[in-house]
Amino acid sequence: MEPGLQFLVITALTLTLTALLLVVKRTLGKNNAVSKSQLTGKWSTPLFTVQFDFEQIAAIRNLFDVHMTEQILQRLSDRVSSELQPTGPPDVSPTSIICIFSAADEAEANLLVGRALAALRHKLTITGIDFYISATSLVQSEAESADIAAASRMQVHAEPSWPADTAALMRELPEALLNGQVTLEYQPKQDLRLGNVESVEALLRWRRSDDVLVNTGQLIALLELTGAIRDVTIWTINRAIADARTLRDQGHDTIVYVNMSGSLLSSISFCQTVLEMLANCDVRIGFEITETSVISDPDIAIENLRAFALAGISIAIDDFGAGLSSLEYLQQLPACELKIDRNFIAKLSSSNRNPLIVKATIDLAHALEMKVTAEGVDDPLCVALLKVMGCDMAQGYLISPPLRVNDLVQYLSQHDNSPVNEPVNREIRQKSAV
């Protein structure tokens, strides 16, 4: 081949190969772009990390077993995934769940997490035991969340001891509420000036099928731990309404106070349910709360209490002096009654300081326009001192032990305007002890 022709052929082949390479390169570039889009398109919006913490889980693990808590955490993880649609499976640790999810901005991220929290609060039933698990959340952007998982692993939780038959106890509870094993007894609060009974406190009692009385203090702690306190409180309010109607039909327009757990006061949905229950109630129902019940979430708790007060529901502060509450909270609470803890009343006649504390508390409550009830009144000398101090009401075994509703009707009929020191009818005492 002539040199000139050879040069032309080589040049043509070079141009052809260059063109082919450009086509291949462009094609590969487009394919790479599509592949990248397919991989990142779904998560092209900002990523956020959220950690849900469950304070109850450590104690539940101690109370039941690891398998139980694993089932609970898996169900909770499924709820989180359903609401947040995370980039991958949530990271489940012994007391928390962490996941990464996509949101347009911080406002949308908080909205989605709020929905997840609402879903987490719904009842869980595991092997016949009902749980209401409360959660707290921490949301961070992707840049801020590097150490969130490591921090969660370092948390330490105290694990209390519980009776060996706790699981069986909780499985029996729903049936016990239906078959009459769980009942209410009522302890009167007597006016120290007039002698009449204006109100009573409803107290939960559970006598199991083997005739063993369940320790009420342990039962309440267990209900609060599992979250079953919600269902039991609803049952208690309904039972109290029915018994208040029995009292009214016998001529006693008595306020029936139900104890309200602090954990429930922070639940807007629960308090709305209670308001709906009592909206058309034809008897007087009140709630007793502890002085520290609003500290965990004061804004929501105080708002709910004010809603109760506006609905005509009486609020009493129970066990005052037993906790480390703030006077700021005290002056914000829409309460009409303050109950001085029995520990101060028990030593009223034998201590130098207790009378000063009790008198100051009575004066403080009166300044805040509250009536004062002394709890745990067991001797006549204590009654005499309380009268001198200006205390309004007394509650304790000197006045009356807790009574079943039929015995309460008899007690109220006997003690209208009766002297405060007069002992309760012996027959009623014997019945209440059965």
Q: How does residue 285 score in pLDDT terms, banded at 50, 70 and 90?
A: very high
Indicate the domain borders of the chain.
Answer: 47-153, 166-433
pLDDT of 160 strictly over 50: no
Contact 229, 220 (CB under 8 A): yes
Instruction: List, for residues 8-60, the tens digit of each pLDDT value.
Output: 444 444 444 444 444 444 444 444 433 434 434 444 678 888 999 998 888 88
> pLDDT tens digits for 50-95?
999 998 888 888 888 788 889 999 999 999 999 998 988 898 988 8
Which homologous superfamily is 47-153 in? Reverse transcriptase/Diguanylate cyclase domain (3.30.70.270)
Q: Is 166 helix (H, G, I), strand (E, B) or coil?
A: helix
pTM beyond 0.85: no
- The pLDDT of residue 399: 94
Helix, coil or strand: residue 138: strand
Q: Is the pLDDT of residue 281 over 90?
A: yes
Residue 16, amino acid: T
Distances, alpha carbon 146 to alpha carbons 50, 98, 141, 326, in Å = 12, 12, 10, 37
Q: Does domain 166-433 have CATH number 3.30.559.10?
A: no
- The stretches of 121-259 forming alpha helices (DSSP H) are 148-153, 166-179, 216-226, 229-249
Position with higher pLDDT, 421 vs 102: 102
Cβ within 8 Å of residue 206, ≥6 positions away: 176, 181, 182, 183, 213, 214, 216, 219
Task: Residue 85: name the closest of 100, 107, 104 by CA.
Answer: 100
Reply yes or no on whether the pLDDT at 325 is more than 80. Answer: no
